Copies of this chain bind each other. A is one copy, B any other.
Amino acid sequence: MKTSSELSPTSALDLEGLFNERRALIDGALDRLLPAEYVEPVSVHQAIRWSVFAGGKRFRPILLLTTGEAFGAHPEDLLATACAMEMIHTYSLIHDDLPSMDDDELRRGRPTCHIQYDEATAILAGDALQTLAFQTIAEESLLSPEKRVLLISELGRTAGTPGGMVAGQALDLEAESCAVTGEELERIHRLKTAALIIAAARCGAIIAEAPDPELDAVGKYAAQLGLLFQITDDLLDITATAETLGKTPGKDLQAQKATYPSLYGIEAAHQRAHLVHQEACAMLEQIERPTEHLRAIADFILRRKA
């Protein structure tokens, strides 16, 4: 087995090709799973596709595919659940962007759903995407019913409340304009961002029938990955330009949102990112499988520019 430190520049390049290939695979599957734009009600179907095909990085579904493959699952067994994960993620972005929530008009360089369409349509598009996520897994005939209910339970637990994404978003709103401690900030991010990233990795491992200790290890790897994702997100909000970011930078500061850099300063936030990256990689050592690609995902997030 090749360890991550032996990765050559060539394999790194192949990895980018592999990511692009997977992104195409996921986009193709999403296109098949989502209602067509010309099907009535066209408003909500156009809004769904506007947001799903807005140039997202497909980070969560790629993580699911990569984890599942590391544990020996066939890509076709992973694809529907990977798409369900992206549907949940996209629904949360649509609702988070609404005027009464984060009030964002721009995402990935394009108008957000409620700006391009209207608020009611955006709410319904998000609602429908959540429904379709669970339906997609329930109807995935390549997986046993036992596995499907496990996946739906995992996704429900990590997308909802009190242990998941919605809880994190609610705590985040409650904390706005309040002084929060570093501990509270990590709790918010663990729920709001990391929960679904953990679910992505765990669902891949569940489909591959990974043994419990390794399922546990990959979940902990993903927890650190989620934290890393949030820290780099906060840093990019300060250091990136609108062009590379695809959204208005500096919004967190304006909204007086607690972020890693605002709590600890930019330099300490960078250091924290490196530490969390190391912790993520350390968890991979506990897995007796080729985990280079999972390691590469952690590297990629540490260095991301957008």
Contacts and interface: CB of A to CB of B under 8 A. Distances in A.
A245 to B, nearest CB: 24
Given A45-B161, A152-B138, A171-B40, A166 B131 contact: yes
A121 B171 CA distance: 10
A149 interface: yes
A107 interface: no
Number of chain copies forming the complex: 2
B44 A170 contact: yes
A162 B35 contact: yes
A148 interface: yes
A128 interface: yes
A95 B128 CA distance: 12
B128 A160 contact: yes
Contacts of A121: 170, 173
A95 B98 CA distance: 13
Given A44-B161, A131-B130, A124 B156 contact: no
B166 A152 contact: no
Contact of A135 (B44, B139, B160, B174): B160
